[in-house]
């Protein structure tokens, strides 16, 4: 059976690997000249500019995600770094009791708790509750929920996931707590402003912060040396070693459908590639409204297209600078708000 995959990002490459492991004939068609998709970085001379990875779940060999990644790549061949400080935020209005405008977010939970209580003793109760939530996350086994297709699982397999229900209840309960809602409870003006500015002034779920911290404290969410492309290259090597084929600079124009079944693709150069199954691991809007010409839609899909279900974030403009000096002692990220 032949399967065509659109897109050589992490999803497309991973799909290709697992299909080849199970004996399927696969070909990946990628519009770019290299694989990776959004998981990419650029090389300019001796500098690497990474546009994706800041940390990767699974950098500790005891992590379930380490075992999952190991199905695709040799994780022992990757060196990971966990920074002492996740990031620092500069405040605009207030200072801590030492006169500093820099807020430190330590990856060591004990160190973070000690630091927060030191700069804001009047918020000790709130701080301890915040730290307890991080420790609570550490008590759960955070499972990679992709090891089997739920509909194809035997009941015995499904029962194993019942042990993860407490984690799901925890996430559901605390997903509504944001950095701003926490900041509004702070008595200390410096801590209040620091939490308000955690996500560049945006009001976002605090789980975005606490989940990585819980993992980084356990050395299980480090930055892989080699960055995004280094990781992608290893998955690509795995796919090719399994006999998989990738066609670069091959833009797909259309998914060919016969009797409501995808039977191949048409490339922008006019070539037709027949297959038994087509997997699109590319942009969902392109897949639904371009490649499938909008013929297979429902109210939910239309609500996503019309931005009624998901908020559209402001665009981000990146400026990368290569500076020839050492940054030892500096945090992974330093955020400072602009007055304009």
Buried b (16+ CB within 10 A) or exposed e, 268-305: eeeeebebebbbbbbbeeebbbebbeeeeeeeebeeee
Q: Tally the C-alpha atoms within 13 A of residue 180's C-alpha that lie toward its C-beta.
A: 7
* pLDDT band at residue 147 under the 50/70/90 scheme: low
**pLDDT confidence of residue 278:** 98
CATH fourth-level superfamily of 2-53+228-305: FAD/NAD(P)-binding domain (3.50.50.60)
pTM comes to: 0.86
Domain boundaries defined on the chain: 2-53+228-305, 83-218
Helix, strand, coil percentages (3-state) for the chain, rounded to 5, are 35, 20, 45
More confident residue, 265 or 227: 265
Q: What average pLDDT does the chain have?
A: 90
Region for residue 117 given its phi and psi (left: phi exceeds 0; alpha: psi -120 to 50; beta: otherwise): alpha
**pLDDT confidence of residue 51:** 84
- Over residues 176-209, the pLDDT tens digits come to 899 999 999 999 999 999 999 988 878 889 998 8
């Amino acid at each position: 059976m032949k399967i065509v995959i659109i897109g050589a990002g992490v999803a497309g490459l991973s799909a290709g690997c697992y299909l080849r492991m199970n004996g399927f004939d696969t070909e990946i068609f990628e519009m770019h000249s290299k694989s990776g998709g959004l998981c990419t970085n650029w090389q300019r001379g001796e500098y690497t500019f990474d546009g994706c990875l800041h940390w990767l779940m699974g950098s500790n060999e005891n992590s379930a995600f380490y075992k999952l990644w190991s199905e695709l790549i040799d994780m022992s061949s990757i060196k990971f770094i966990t920074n002492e400080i996740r990031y620092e935020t500069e405040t605009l209005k207030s200072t801590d009791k030492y006169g500093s405008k820099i807020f430190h977010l330590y990856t060591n939970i004990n160190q973070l708790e000690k630091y927060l209580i030191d700069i804001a003793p009047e918020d000790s109760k709130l701080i301890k509750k915040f730290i307890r939530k991080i420790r609570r996350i550490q008590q759960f086994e955070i499972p990679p929920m992709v090891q089997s297709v739920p509909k194809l699982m035997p009941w015995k397999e499904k029962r194993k996931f019942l042990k993860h229900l407490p984690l799901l209840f925890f996430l559901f309960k605390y997903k509504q707590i944001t950095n701003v809602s926490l900041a509004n409870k702070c008595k200390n003006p410096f801590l209040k402003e620091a939490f308000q500015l955690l996500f560049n002034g945006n009001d976002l779920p605090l789980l975005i912060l606490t989940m990585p911290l819980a993992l980084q404290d356990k050395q299980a969410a480090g930055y892989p040396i080699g960055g995004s492309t280094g990781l992608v290259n290893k998955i690509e090597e795995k796919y090719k070693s399994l006999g998989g084929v990738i066609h670069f600079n091959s833009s797909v124009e259309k998914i060919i459908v016969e009797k409501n079944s995808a039977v191949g693709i048409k490339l922008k150069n006019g070539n037709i590639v027949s297959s038994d199954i087509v997997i699109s691991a590319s942009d969902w809007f392109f897949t639904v409204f371009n490649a499938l010409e909008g013929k297979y839609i429902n109210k939910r899909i239309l609500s996503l297209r019309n931005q009624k279900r998901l908020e559209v974030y402001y665009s981000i403009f990146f400026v990368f600078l290569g500076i020839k000096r050492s940054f030892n002692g500096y945090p992974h990220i330093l955020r400072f708000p602009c007055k304009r």
